[in-house]
Structure 1
Amino acid sequence: MPLTSCEVVRCETPVARCATALRSGRPGSRPPVAPPVRRGGPGSRTPNAEAARTARHHRGGPTVHDTHPARALVPLPRSVTVPADGGRLELDARTVLDAREGTEDTARVLRCTLGAATGLPLPPGSTGVDGGAVLRLRVDETVAAELGPEGYRLEVTASGAEIAGGAAAGVFWGVQTLRQLLGPDAYRGAPLPGRPRTLPHTVVEDAPRFPWRGFMVDVARHFTPKDGVLRWIDLLAAHKLNVLHLHLTDDQGWRLHVERFPRLTEVGAWRPRTRLGHRASPLWDERPHGGFYTHDDIREIVAYAAERHVTVVPEIDLPGHSQAAIAAYPELGNTDVHGDAAHTAPEVWTDWGVSPHVLAPTEAVLRFYEGVFEEVLDLFPGEFVHIGGDECPRDQWRRSPTARARAARLGLDGVDGLQAWFTRHFGRLLAERGRRLVGWDEILDDRGADGDGPVPVPGAVVSSWRGYAGGIAAARAGLDVVMCPEQQVYLDHRQDAGEDEPVPIGYVRTLRDVHGFEPVPPELEGTEAAGRVLGAQANLWTEVVEDRRRAEYQAFPRLAAFAEVVWSRREAREWEDFERRMAGAHYARLDALGVAYRPPSGPRPWQRRPGIAGFPRQGPPPSV
């Protein structure tokens, strides 16, 4: 229905080309990259473009439609057009779902979520029963050309609602916006009696800024059971985040069953006790801790994520952070190093920090991990595989005759170059199988004997965690980058300087700080290298985060702010507007989902952890 009178609540202009696409969890499919877009000018094919051009534009200030549900969308869409009639579309038992080719998975998810929240069956059909509404999902080439594969156009009129996506992913993201327009009750697991089920007449046109909109959860330090991982996927999808990075292995636990090496989970998945709080804390939980994912668990996780257009990126950390693996198979370690207790055969580590135990640089270790990766690649069909590469101490290598001899045979000046040897080996292995290596920014530190600048593996992706510097160097060297600086987006860091903040770690990173994060640093702005920034990722390490409720407290509401950073255009983001949208509706959505977020006023009494030591850092974080 053409809109003859409308008001644009917010209209964003196009964004620059994203660097590259991501492959989804399903073989052969790719979560998309938005192409350059020119909209709203002469020749625009966007429906209602003329109305949008003649309407008033607002930058987050009050409008006559300030209470309209479209004014509380998170993340902020590119444009919202609200007709002056203020009409609403009622959903009832007559409402049908018309899912065109390519949208079947999204239709199934929509029936599961919206059906549960409203009690409506949403049967298939192309026309409403007895004049009822039609919810139509379709893939549209015009939308793809104008907004990219992840873009969508949602229009609600008196006769129904239509979501046209550039590809299946765009349709799915449009459904997330539709759920928000229905109100917070759309996130409940059962219908509440007497509540309205209506959609406001609206037109939303939207597309993401970055193709990599990620979240990492550390399941190695504290294990997250399968149902918890599925919940994370739902929460990410609801915020239009599309990458879940699982940190599967570390010194404190190995979380993936490997059939050819069963001791990795028989031994490596369990530790006898756990320190409570930071490593300076004298308190211990004396209960054994552990768990792992079976192959079928992983297959379910990957399939569940793919249906929601979330890519699962597995991380197998090496050559450091490997004490759990060495505890299971001691021959993986530097067995020729002797002389103090720190270098004896270890158990799965019960403490935090950086273990001195690292993998031995031997052919046998390479063969072992090749076997591990063969199973990893069978379980995770996505393009990207993370090999860690961070915080690898060299002391054992310096004391090991075997390691020193290996470095000499490779023509290295010393053992420091052995990490690059590991990185290049597994980078080649992954490339031969059509995958791409991802590593923390330490993979740039060592070039090895054949190194030529900071390019450890052609095609590698760098997770820049120690600040922006690693990402800047990688982008300038022609490598793709995911920005995740700890000073900005480590969600295990404390949210406030107050004394009641539970187990305070790191610098204060408030909700406003995260909303102000910018993935493209000034050093790259306006350069060709800026196109190498795939996006950004928020990371949640779990040394002091022992369960789901603690994890949700640390993640939310900051993950909602982060979602806006990676989805919405930088110039359109305004803190006061975001704060208003959170208070207006998004906290209520989180409440409906049962998310144990940190309230704006501070932690609730049961969210505090009195007496458990943290490690707060004072002052503002360094800019690096």
Structure 2
Amino acid sequence: MSDLIPRPRVVETASGSFEFLPRTSVSGPADLVDALRVALAVLDLGHADPRPATSPAVAEAGTEGLSETRTGPITVEMDESLGVEGYALTVTPEAVQIVAGGAAGALYAGQTLRQMLPAEAFRSVAVPGVRWTVPCGRVEDSPRFAWRGAHLDVSRHFMPKREVLRMIDLLAAHKLNRLHLHLADDQGWRVESRAYPLLHEVGSHRARTTTKPFRGESAFDDTPHGGYYTLADLGEIAAYARTRAVTLVPEIDVPGHASAVLAAYPHLGADPSQRHDVLDRWGISPAILSPLPETVDFLATVLAEIIEAIGSVPYFHIGGDECVLDAWASSAEITAYQRSLGLDAPSDLHAWFLRALADVLAGLGSRAVVWDEAFVSGRLRQDTIVMPWRGVEVGRQAAAAGHDIVATSVFPLYFDYAESSSPEEPAAIGDTITLDDVTAFTPAPPSFRPEESAHVLGAQFQLWTERIPDARTLDYRAWPRGCAVAQITWSGDADGFASALPAHLRRLDAYGVEYRPLTGPLPWQRGGTGDRMHQPGKVQVRDVMRHLEELTQEADSTRPSLS
């Protein structure tokens, strides 16, 4: 019980163990039992009396007499006072008793039990010769932060549905509860649209892809790349996630990063006469959507399609980052429209455009999320969530302005950066973000005032895929750094993480995760030569953060005063 990741809030050990026998019975409210079964699927739990358990909550009962008050070896009860993700778990030689605040809490109790079992519990089926025992003791647990997530860019390199479902399983195993799916960017549009089918028919594939990681370098693979999720796929992904207490956060990044959209529908651009291709290189593109009413109506239709397919979308990300506004400034029609709205500059129009989409989303029951550039003008809806990717300071500014924030800072939460400055690493965007860097991170730093910290929802790690071409590389970049994010967002700190990690890596081995070993890449994980060769030192994350800090200071000088 000392090797649990993330670390529970309270752990008490006791002598003895409980053994799961074939078809061990489980009873309690159906939704809680179903959630527990998801976490402990390998055990093929049996059935018991389906009526709700009636004994006192764990917090109010000792362990004596449990076998007399229970209908089976495993019982699950509801206690809403624990919070929807909270749970209490008591293990005796005779029984396992769980009290959960909701289905998510029951799932997380099951994930804790799974980690208390032998590492083989992370295999797809129960292998012979394993004794399925857990140590006796007691766990009380609830998360420090509500938003504990991962961002997956499927635009730069498309990940088939099976890989997204696998990522959801891995998030749930670590009590991470958000999957931010980056569905649209310059390099590809990744979701079906029945209203505007050219989005997926044209925008979902590019003719070739650059093989160089940096701007100004020119070399291409001349291999077509593409793929998209049907609306039914997206609904399936979201439903699969919900059964694992993971909320899908779709992102359609606008108004910039628009090459794929404009390749399909060029009349939506700032210059309708200009033709576009789905971008085959990395970096910031000047392609930008027009902010005129036709574009807002177009996007409103697409957003509604996605929300209808998913069924329930509490959060919808609309991007707003890295927008080159020159084309707006040079368009007489857009400038006239800006003035008709009483706006002074293209930057104000940028904020107005995102607010208009946020209003659309609010009408559809979703809350808008944006990258931090959208915050600069101060014109966002107050309920818009800001993701401060450019650093902690811009996050503090957004929180001070009353916006909820999710920490997404390049350092140390961009996992497309290498974990060491070594030529043995596979090609990465730059150097370095280590496991220790991640464990040292605090989503709500001590420098925040209490009222600012109250707006920190949590944090997520980012998997931008310019240099993540496949699922094996995705595993390598995500884990075990993702384990560290799970701990700092659930437990609130990294205490005990380093000592628990070796045992946890054996669980990932059983699961089949091709993580980066603590000692460095395995021979077949190394970059080697050619396109996969890493270039140590060419881009340093500290230099990137310094540059982003300068940009933030420049933007802050033009942002309206909060007073």
Same fold (TM over 0.5): yes
The partner residue of 1:397 within 328, 338, 341 is 328
The partner residue of 2:483 within 549, 560, 565 is 560
The partner residue of 1:520 within 436, 440, 444 is 444
User: In structure 2, do the counterparts of structure 1 residues 107 and 600 end up closer, same or farther at CA, with 3 Å as the change threshold?
Assistant: closer
The offset of 1:427, in angstroms, is 1.3
Within 5 Å, give how 1:169-188 maps onto structure 2.
169-188=104-123
What is the CA deviation profile of residues 569-613 of structure 1, one whole-angstrom value per residue up to 9, with x for unaligned ones?
33xx33xx3222111x11101111111100111111211222336
1:550 correspondence with 2:473: yes
The offset of 1:614, in angstroms, is 5.4
Give the partner amino acid of 1:596.
E
User: In structure 2, do the counterparts of structure 1 residues 619 and 226 end up closer, same or farther at CA, with 3 Å as the change threshold?
Assistant: closer
Give the partner amino acid of 2:90.
E
- Partner SS, residue 424 of structure 1: helix
Within 5 Å, give how 1:137-536 maps onto structure 2.
137-141=75-79, 144-145=80-81, 147-280=82-215, 281-335=217-271, 344-380=274-310, 381-446=312-377, 454-525=378-449, 527-536=450-459
Equivalent-residue separation in structure 2 for 1:121 and 1:306 (angstroms): 21
User: In structure 2, do the counterparts of structure 1 residues 269 and 94 end up closer, same or farther at CA, with 3 Å as the change threshold?
Assistant: closer
- Partner SS, residue 215 of structure 1: strand
Query: Scaled by the length of structure 2, what TM-score is found?
Result: 0.89
What is the CA deviation profile of residues 275-305 of structure 1, one whole-angstrom value per residue up to 9, with x for unaligned ones?
1240355443222111111111111111111
Equivalent-residue separation in structure 1 for 2:368 and 2:248 (angstroms): 14
The offset of 1:133, in angstroms, is 10
The partner residue of 1:582 within 496, 501, 513 is 501
Q: Verify the 8 A CA contact 2:271 2:327 in the aligned structure 1.
A: no
Q: Name whichever of 395-404 and 262-271 sits farther off.
A: 395-404
- Partner SS, residue 285 of structure 1: coil
User: In structure 2, do the counterparts of structure 1 residues 122 and 101 end up closer, same or farther at CA, with 3 Å as the change threshold?
Assistant: closer
Q: Verify the 8 A CA contact 1:277 1:544 in the aligned structure 2.
A: no
Equivalent-residue separation in structure 2 for 1:336 and 1:171 (angstroms): 53
Query: Scaled by the length of structure 1, what TM-score is found?
Result: 0.80
Within 5 Å, give how 1:16-95 maps onto structure 2.
70-83=1-14, 85=15, 87-93=16-22, 95=24
Aligned to 1:24: none
- Partner SS, residue 251 of structure 2: strand
Aligned to 1:39: none
Equivalent-residue separation in structure 2 for 1:474 and 1:499 (angstroms): 39
Aligned to 1:23: none
Q: Verify the 8 A CA contact 1:491 1:538 in the aligned structure 2.
A: yes
Q: Name whichever of 548-557 and 368-377 sits farther off.
A: 368-377
The offset of 1:619, in angstroms, is 6.8
- Partner SS, residue 454 of structure 2: helix
What is the CA deviation profile of residues 360-414 of structure 1, one whole-angstrom value per residue up to 9, with x for unaligned ones?
1222111111111111221231211100000000121222222222222223223
The offset of 1:307, in angstroms, is 0.6
Give the partner amino acid of 2:234.
I
Equivalent-residue separation in structure 2 for 1:358 and 1:323 (angstroms): 7
Equivalent-residue separation in structure 2 for 1:582 and 1:414 (angstroms): 51
Aligned to 1:569: 492
User: In structure 2, do the counterparts of structure 1 residues 538 and 478 end up closer, same or farther at CA, with 3 Å as the change threshold?
Assistant: same
What is the CA deviation profile of residues 215-274 of structure 1, one whole-angstrom value per residue up to 9, with x for unaligned ones?
100011111111111001000000000010000000000001011000000000010111
Equivalent-residue separation in structure 2 for 1:177 and 1:549 (angstroms): 26
Aligned to 1:59: none
- Partner SS, residue 327 of structure 2: helix
Aligned to 2:554: none
Equivalent-residue separation in structure 2 for 1:259 and 1:397 (angstroms): 29
The offset of 1:455, in angstroms, is 4.5
Q: Name whichever of 214-223 and 282-291 sits farther off.
A: 282-291
Q: Verify the 8 A CA contact 2:252 2:317 in the aligned structure 1.
A: yes
Equivalent-residue separation in structure 2 for 1:94 and 1:332 (angstroms): 59
Aligned to 1:47: none
The offset of 1:72, in angstroms, is 0.4
The offset of 1:165, in angstroms, is 0.7
Q: Name whichever of 149-158 and 98-107 sits farther off.
A: 98-107
Give the partner amino acid of 1:443.
A
Q: Name whichever of 372-381 and 101-110 sits farther off.
A: 101-110
Q: Verify the 8 A CA contact 1:114 1:179 in the aligned structure 2.
A: no
The offset of 1:484, in angstroms, is 0.7
Aligned to 1:44: none
Q: Verify the 8 A CA contact 1:321 1:392 in the aligned structure 2.
A: yes
- Partner SS, residue 31 of structure 2: coil
Equivalent-residue separation in structure 1 for 2:260 and 2:315 (angstroms): 24
Equivalent-residue separation in structure 2 for 1:533 and 1:501 (angstroms): 34
Give the partner amino acid of 2:474.
A
Equivalent-residue separation in structure 1 for 2:202 and 2:159 (angstroms): 18
Q: Name whichever of 590-599 and 194-203 sits farther off.
A: 194-203
Equivalent-residue separation in structure 1 for 2:392 and 2:431 (angstroms): 16
Aligned length: 524
Give the partner amino acid of 1:391.
E
Q: Verify the 8 A CA contact 1:100 1:137 in the aligned structure 2.
A: no
Equivalent-residue separation in structure 2 for 1:473 and 1:379 (angstroms): 35
Q: Which runs of 5+ in 2 are unaligned?
A: 54-65, 550-563
The partner residue of 2:27 within 84, 95, 98 is 98
Q: Verify the 8 A CA contact 2:151 2:180 in the aligned structure 1.
A: yes
Equivalent-residue separation in structure 2 for 1:374 and 1:611 (angstroms): 44
Aligned to 2:464: 541
Q: Verify the 8 A CA contact 1:277 1:543 in the aligned structure 2.
A: no
What is the CA deviation profile of residues 505-558 of structure 1, one whole-angstrom value per residue up to 9, with x for unaligned ones?
234111111011100123314x22211111111111001110101111001000
Equivalent-residue separation in structure 1 for 2:353 and 2:213 (angstroms): 31
What is the CA deviation profile of residues 109-167 of structure 1, one whole-angstrom value per residue up to 9, with x for unaligned ones?
146x223xxxx4523358999xx9945342432xx42x422111111111121221111
How big is the alpha-carbon RMSD for the aligned residues of Structure 1 and Structure 2? 2.2
Q: Verify the 8 A CA contact 2:156 2:185 in the aligned structure 1.
A: yes
Give the partner amino acid of 2:497.
F
The offset of 1:468, in angstroms, is 1.2
Q: Verify the 8 A CA contact 1:487 1:507 in the aligned structure 2.
A: no
Aligned to 2:561: none
Equivalent-residue separation in structure 1 for 2:42 and 2:353 (angstroms): 48
The offset of 1:474, in angstroms, is 1.3
Aligned to 2:63: none
Q: Verify the 8 A CA contact 1:140 1:165 in the aligned structure 2.
A: yes
Equivalent-residue separation in structure 2 for 1:349 and 1:133 (angstroms): 61
1:136 correspondence with 2:71: no
1:594 correspondence with 2:512: yes
What is the CA deviation profile of residues 33-91 of structure 1, one whole-angstrom value per residue up to 9, with x for unaligned ones?
xxxxxxxxxxxxxxxxxxxxxxxxxxxxxxxxxxxxx01000011111111x3x11111
